[in-house]
Structure 1
Amino acid sequence: MHIQEWLENVPAISVYLLVGVVIGLESLGIPLPGEIVLVSATLLAASQDHINPYILGTCAVAGAVIGDSIGYLIGRKGGQPLLNWLGRKFPKHFSAEHVATAERSFQKWGMWAVFVGRFIALLRIFAGPLAGVLRMPYWKFLIANVLGGIVWAGGTTAVIYSVGKVAEDWLKRFSWLGLVLALLFGLGSMLVMKWRSKKAGPAAGGTADAETAEPEPVPAGD
């Protein structure tokens, strides 16, 4: 099956669920490529009419908000032992240095750390669990969480979808432009080769005549 046909047959519901689940799991503290999945799905929506970008964006926002909230509750219940466990499980993401940096950000910026953290890969993983561990009031966390989820997930979907549509239209035009340029290039190359062959013809003929001409007899000396 051609790749275009395969993409057209991908069920839209599976794309929506994949985006929501991956972003949700990332938001509750599991290192997953949520942003990459969202961008890829949005580009797919830009080229495939059966995937609705509004539903896709809504699923992304829902995954972000719900995942962060679950992460907050887990962090509030688990506390510091949870961070220690995450550090052993995911040392690359939850090292002591990363945790200390995130804690300083949360203590300094509070709600803004939750909001801005949505746009930073490492803090996006930390935001929910760490806010719970630090016992940030849930109403503050929820406001920052919802606003951050809407701006990040909704904004990313809107921007990437618009860019994808423009790119799709440009590529369609480029395919015709490429064909025209290829034809012009081929025609030009053929004309140049014919011109060079005509130019080289007389020169070659002249050289051949000179080579085949019999040498004049040298007069005998007296």
Structure 2
Amino acid sequence: MTSNDGIAGWATGLMETLGAPGAGLAIALENLFPPLPSEVILPLAGFTAGQGRMGLVEALVWTTAGSVVGALALYLVGALLGRDRVVAIARRLPLIKISDIEKTEAFFAKHGVKTVFFGRMIPIFRSMISIPAGVERMPIWVFLLFTTLGSAIWNTIFVMAGYYLGENWQLVEGYVGIGTNVVIGIVVLAILVFVGVRLTERRKGRHAGRS
């Protein structure tokens, strides 16, 4: 049995016990613990609805509600963390500059709404985007509105895929897995480039100081 088989069994148990609210609970936990894959839980909810064990509209409403609840919890984590603590942590990190935090703040001030909306439809970032929204104290009604809209689109696509694919709902996971790997590759490449640039800047600074 693979890990995803175990997750599918766990999610199935929640849905059989609680119905559509069980699907919502599973997605809320997926937001808090990203290793729980939505590409397994959402199509499974659609498949379960197709079997008549819950209503399709119920599945869509409850999974979206679960997404919003999970995102709100992470928003509150960011709000409690606050800018001062983020800056204090950044000061202790060897390759991070305070200007990096300031650039991130400027970007979020300009593109925060789009970032939250589209971020809900990007693997990995779906959960994490809520934390900077909280740190920057995005108005909570704006956060909830665009989190709900983005989550509703993402969830509807995957729940409906599971609903129409039926017994073949697991095909969704394979396709999304490719996209997730691409995102991971881009993130790793970006980190490597960032580290390389900072190390180069540090070496140049040392040479300039000696001359």
1:110 corresponds to:
112
Q: Would you say 1:59 and 2:24 are equivalent positions? A: no
> In 2, distance between residues paired with 1:15 and 1:35?
19
Task: State the TM-score, normalized to the length of structure 2.
Answer: 0.55
Count of residues paired in the alignment: 145
2:27 corresponds to:
23
Equivalent pair of 1:29/1:126 in contact (CA under 8 Å): no
2:195 corresponds to:
none
> In 1, distance between residues paired with 2:149 and 2:141?
12
Equivalent pair of 2:108/2:115 in contact (CA under 8 Å): yes
The within-5 A match list for 1:35-74 is 35-46=39-50, 48-74=51-77
Q: Deviations over 1:12-52 (max 9, x none)?
A: 44353442123213334654212321112322332x22232
Q: Could you list the runs of 5+ residues in structure 2 that have no partner in the other structure?
A: 1-8, 90-95, 170-211
Equivalent pair of 2:44/2:162 in contact (CA under 8 Å): no
Equivalent pair of 1:29/1:128 in contact (CA under 8 Å): no
Equivalent pair of 1:22/1:33 in contact (CA under 8 Å): no
2:121 corresponds to:
119
Equivalent pair of 1:28/1:128 in contact (CA under 8 Å): no
1:131 CA displacement: 0.7
> In 2, distance between residues paired with 1:74 and 1:83?
16
- Cα pair distance change 1:76/1:29, threshold 3 Å: farther
The alignment partner of 1:121 has SS state of: coil
Q: Deviations over 1:65-101 (max 9, x none)?
A: 121122212210123658999xxxxxxxxxx8xx98x
- Cα pair distance change 1:83/1:35, threshold 3 Å: farther
> In 2, distance between residues paired with 1:83 and 1:24?
29
Q: Deviations over 1:92-133 (max 9, x none)?
A: xxxx8xx98xx5874552111111111111111112222101
> In 2, distance between residues paired with 1:84 and 1:56?
42
Q: Deviations over 1:131-159 (max 9, x none)?
A: 10122222221221121122222332234
**Alignment identity in percent?**
30
> In 2, distance between residues paired with 1:119 and 1:83?
28
> In 1, distance between residues paired with 2:133 and 2:126?
11
- Cα pair distance change 1:123/1:52, threshold 3 Å: same
Name whichever of 19-28 and 118-127 sits farther off.
19-28
The within-5 A match list for 1:28-177 is 28=32, 30-46=34-50, 48-79=51-82, 81=85, 103=104, 106-107=108-109, 109-164=111-166
Equivalent pair of 2:19/2:53 in contact (CA under 8 Å): no
> Residue type matched to 1:69 in 2?
L
> In 1, distance between residues paired with 2:87 and 2:32?
13
The alignment partner of 1:79 has SS state of: helix
> In 2, distance between residues paired with 1:131 and 1:13?
34
Q: Could you list the runs of 5+ residues in structure 1 that have no partner in the other structure?
A: 1-5, 86-95, 169-222
RMSD, matched Cα: 3.5
1:179 corresponds to:
none
Q: Quick check: which has more Rg, 1 or 2?
A: 1
